[in-house]
C-alpha cells in the first residue's frame, strides 16, 4: 500500500502543477502600431524643400500631422516638372508629390501633396469617435505608417463598456478596417 501512495504523490507534479499562482487576467494589448525604424535625414532642407515643407505643413496640420523634413531629388530648374519626394511626418516617412510650374508673373510656383504612407493618429481617433466610440486611445505616437496589413490597436469605450479594437491598414492612402479584439 505504501508504494501506491508514493506513486500518486510522484504523479501530481508531472501532471502540470507548477507552483505558480494563476494570474486570472491577461495583460491588455499594447496600444498603437509599429513605429518606423527609418529616421529623417540629418541634413538641412535645401532652397526648394524648405518652402515646400512650409506649405505642406499648412495642408497636413488639419490631419494632426507635423512635417519633420522633406527630401527631394535635385531639381534642374525646368518647369513644368514633377518631383517625387520623401517627407517625414511625426517621424513617419511618406510620399510627397511636388508639381512645379510658372505663374502668370513667370515666377516658379509649386503645389505639394502628401500622397501616401502616413496615418495620423488624430484622424483615426476621429473616425472611431464618429463610429460611436468614446475615450479612444490609439497609443502615444502622433502617426503610424500606412502599410497594407499593418495594425493599430486602440482602447475604446462604447455604451459604457471598455474594449479594444484593431484598425487594419487596407491601402497606402491610410484606409483602415476596424474589428474588435
pLDDT in tens, 69-116: 999 999 988 889 999 999 999 999 999 999 999 888 888 889 999 998
**pLDDT at position 11:** 38
**pLDDT at position 74:** 92
What is the domain range of residue 110? 49-115
Same domain, 141 and 165: yes
Give domain status of residue 128, yes or no: yes
Average pLDDT of the residues in 7-30: 53
Same domain, 109 and 137: no
Same domain, 102 and 158: no
Give domain status of residue 94, yes or no: yes
Report the SS3 class of residue 122: helix
- Which of 115, 135, 166 terminates a domain? The answer is 115
Residue 124 has which C-alpha cell?
A: 483615426
Cα dihedral sign for 97, 113, 144, 166? negative
Give domain status of residue 14, yes or no: no
Same domain, 105 and 126: no
Give domain status of residue 32, yes or no: no
**pLDDT at position 57:** 96
φ, ψ of residue 82 to 5 degrees: the values are: -125, 130
For residue 116, give Cα distances in angstroms to 23, 38, 104, 179, 180. Answer: 43, 16, 31, 23, 26
Rounded to the nearest integer, the mean pLDDT of the chain is 86
**pLDDT at position 26:** 76
* Residue 157 predicted with pLDDT over 50: yes
Give domain status of residue 11, yes or no: no
**Lowest mean pLDDT, pick from 4-18, 104-118, 139-153:** 4-18
**pLDDT at position 1:** 44
Q: Go through 35-45 and write b for each residue having 16 or more CB atoms within 10 A of its CB, e for each that does not.
A: ebeeebeeeeb
Q: Go through 8-18 and write b for each residue having 16 or more CB atoms within 10 A of its CB, e for each that does not.
A: eeeeeeeeeee
- Which of 61, 80, 115 terminates a domain? The answer is 115
Give the residue carrying C-alpha cell 497609443. Answer: 139
Give domain status of residue 109, yes or no: yes
**pLDDT at position 70:** 96
Give domain status of residue 124, yes or no: yes
How many domains does the chain fold into?
Answer: 2
Give domain status of residue 42, yes or no: no
**pLDDT at position 7:** 36
Average pLDDT of the residues in 150-175: 95
**pLDDT at position 108:** 86
Same domain, 98 and 132: no
Amino acid at each position: 500500500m505504501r508504494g501506491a501512495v508514493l506513486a500518486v504523490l510522484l504523479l501530481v507534479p508531472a501532471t502540470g502543477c507548477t507552483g505558480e499562482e494563476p494570474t486570472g487576467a491577461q495583460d491588455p494589448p499594447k496600444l498603437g502600431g509599429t513605429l518606423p525604424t527609418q529616421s529623417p535625414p540629418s541634413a538641412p532642407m535645401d532652397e526648394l524643400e524648405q518652402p515646400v515643407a512650409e506649405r505642406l505643413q499648412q495642408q497636413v496640420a488639419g490631419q494632426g500631422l507635423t512635417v519633420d523634413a522633406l527630401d527631394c531629388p535635385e531639381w534642374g530648374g525646368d518647369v513644368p516638372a514633377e518631383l517625387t519626394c520623401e517627407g517625414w511626418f511625426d517621424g513617419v516617412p511618406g510620399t510627397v508629390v511636388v508639381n512645379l510650374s510658372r505663374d502668370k508673373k513667370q515666377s516658379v510656383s509649386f503645389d505639394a501633396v502628401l500622397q501616401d504612407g502616413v496615418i495620423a493618429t488624430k484622424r483615426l481617433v476621429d473616425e472611431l469617435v464618429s463610429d460611436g466610440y468614446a475615450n479612444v486611445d490609439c497609443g502615444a505616437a502622433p502617426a503610424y505608417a500606412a502599410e497594407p496589413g499593418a495594425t493599430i490597436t486602440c482602447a475604446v469605450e462604447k455604451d459604457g463598456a471598455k474594449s479594444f479594437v484593431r484598425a487594419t491598414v487596407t491601402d497606402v492612402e491610410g484606409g483602415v478596417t476596424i474589428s474588435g479584439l
